[in-house]
Amino acid sequence: MLLDCGTVNRKRNQYLLPSAPDAQCEPGEQVAHYVLAVNPNGDSVDYMVSSHWHVDHVGANEPDYVAPGVSPIGCARSGFGQAAEWLHFGKAIDRSWPDFNDPVPIVTRETAHMRKVYDALCRRDGLMIEKFRLGATDQIVPLHSSALGFGCRNICVNGRIALPDGTVRNVLKERLEASPKSRIDENMLSLGMIFSYGRFRLYTAGDALGGFFEDALADAVEHCHVSKTNHHAHVSMTPRLVSKLASRYWINLVWDSRHSMSSVMRTLADRTLYPGERTIIPCFMPLNRRFEDAKEAWLYDVPEAVFKPCHVVLSVVDGGESYKVSCLGAKNDNFIVRAEFSERIV
């Protein structure tokens, strides 16, 4: 499964982090090359999932976000559209399919782009597309083996949260009723899941954002050994959600030097929220941030391996009894291991 594949506008953002391996390789192409290097099924990927409609998660069809050249499949060479030049997908899972109107109609550069991507892949590959089913545990399943003990629970989408007792809480509706002039934030509409394998748990929820929403989301999650931070660890991850997830490893995907926000990192590192060791792994912690935050205690929870751009790889083995988090060099295709952390679940 490829969960999100976006791009960035290099002309606009003075805080943009350097591309890895280099700026000559566009994000969609680099993602595709990485998949081809590690995917046991080559260029065949069972699922493509877009967490929400922002350019850094799906791409866009505006010139500043599109790679040079003509697409061989008939869509913008951006994000998923570019990755699909090398990859073939069996099924797409989308938060608002088929009419892009849940919870409100949405027409943006991202939806225009993804409509064309879907059309192109339906023509070329017979792509199936379906809407993300909140609360489902049977939408994302293993297709090549039984993988006993594997599961995926859909916990949030479109401002709604599936609680463990089977009920659904419409947090967006509650918010609009309390503050009718509140802006509907696309980030808060992100879809989220908890993956399980035996006793192991992994949390991911796109850019789920907003203190009121993340506090509500805490009621839908359990302890997860590894969590991907919401919204690139920028103005996110409330203490209530962090204490409920109580993760041993926090993985943060970054492309902007303002990501891994210091106040958020303090929350992740706060031992009063839950006891025990934890490791915070951004895929890059640039020099200027290490200098600015040199006196911050949370920096001791960040491994030195991420002081250069890296791929972060999670491997879960032994039926979910143990797992490993690896930091691989991102400056070449050799995937040299810079750091490795192994845990056995007791």
Residue 117, φ and ψ in degrees, nearest 5:
-65, -50
Q: In this structure, are 238 and 345 located in the same domain?
A: yes
Residue 314, φ and ψ in degrees, nearest 5:
-110, 125
The tokens for 272 are 């009063």
Report yes or no: 137 and 151 within 8 Å, Cβ to Cβ: yes
Q: In this structure, are 100 and 201 located in the same domain?
A: no
| Overall number of domains in the chain | 2
Whole-number Å distance between alpha carbons of 299 and 126? 47
Q: In this structure, are 122 and 173 located in the same domain?
A: no
Q: Which of 83, 71, 70 shows the shortest CA–CA distance to 25?
A: 83
Residue 208: band (very low, low, confident or very high) from pLDDT cuts 50, 70, 90 = very high
Whole-number Å distance between alpha carbons of 278 and 182? 35
Whole-number Å distance between alpha carbons of 282 and 262? 12
Q: In this structure, are 72 and 139 located in the same domain?
A: no
Q: In this structure, are 174 and 94 located in the same domain?
A: no
49 against 210, higher pLDDT: 49
Q: What is the pLDDT of residue 14?
A: 83
Q: In this structure, are 167 and 87 located in the same domain?
A: no
Q: What is the pLDDT of residue 9?
A: 85
Report yes or no: 327 and 310 within 8 Å, Cβ to Cβ: yes
Q: Which of 151, 194, 190, 204 shows the shortest CA–CA distance to 312?
A: 204
Tell me how crowded residue 25 is: count the other CB atoms within 10 A of its CB: 14
pLDDT tens-place string over residues 226-259: 999 999 999 999 999 999 999 999 999 999 999 9
b (16+ CB within 10 A) / e for 300-314: ebbbebbbbbbbbeb
Domain ranges, residue 301: 134-346
Q: In this structure, are 97 and 163 located in the same domain?
A: no
Indicate the residue among 131, 152, 177 that finishes a domain.
131
Q: In this structure, are 113 and 155 located in the same domain?
A: no
pLDDT tens-place string over residues 10-38: 776 788 998 888 878 889 999 999 999 99
Indicate the residue among 84, 103, 131 that finishes a domain.
131
The tokens for 103 are 């919870």
Min mean pLDDT across 87-91, 196-200, 329-333 is at: 329-333
The yes-or-no verdict on residue 334 having pLDDT over 90 is no
Residue 166: band (very low, low, confident or very high) from pLDDT cuts 50, 70, 90 = very high
Q: Which of 152, 156, 155, 157 shows the shortest CA–CA distance to 137?
A: 152
**Which residue(s) pair with 329 in the sheet?**
310
Q: What is the pLDDT of residue 233?
A: 97
Whole-number Å distance between alpha carbons of 277 and 247? 9
CA distances (Å), origin 97, targets 37, 71, 105, 123, 158: 31, 24, 11, 18, 12
Indicate the residue among 131, 151, 175 that finishes a domain.
131
- Mean predicted lDDT score pLDDT of the chain: 95
Residue count of the chain: 346
The yes-or-no verdict on residue 274 having pLDDT over 80 is yes
Q: In this structure, are 218 and 345 located in the same domain?
A: yes
Min mean pLDDT across 9-13, 61-65, 176-180, 199-203 is at: 9-13
Q: In this structure, are 303 and 200 located in the same domain?
A: yes
Q: What is the pLDDT of residue 124?
A: 97
**Which residue(s) pair with 199 in the sheet?**
none
How much is the average pLDDT of 95-112? Answer: 93
Q: In this structure, are 108 and 153 located in the same domain?
A: no
Q: In this structure, are 92 and 185 located in the same domain?
A: no
The yes-or-no verdict on residue 110 having pLDDT over 80 is yes
Name the helix (H) or strand (E) containing 170.
Answer: strand 168-170
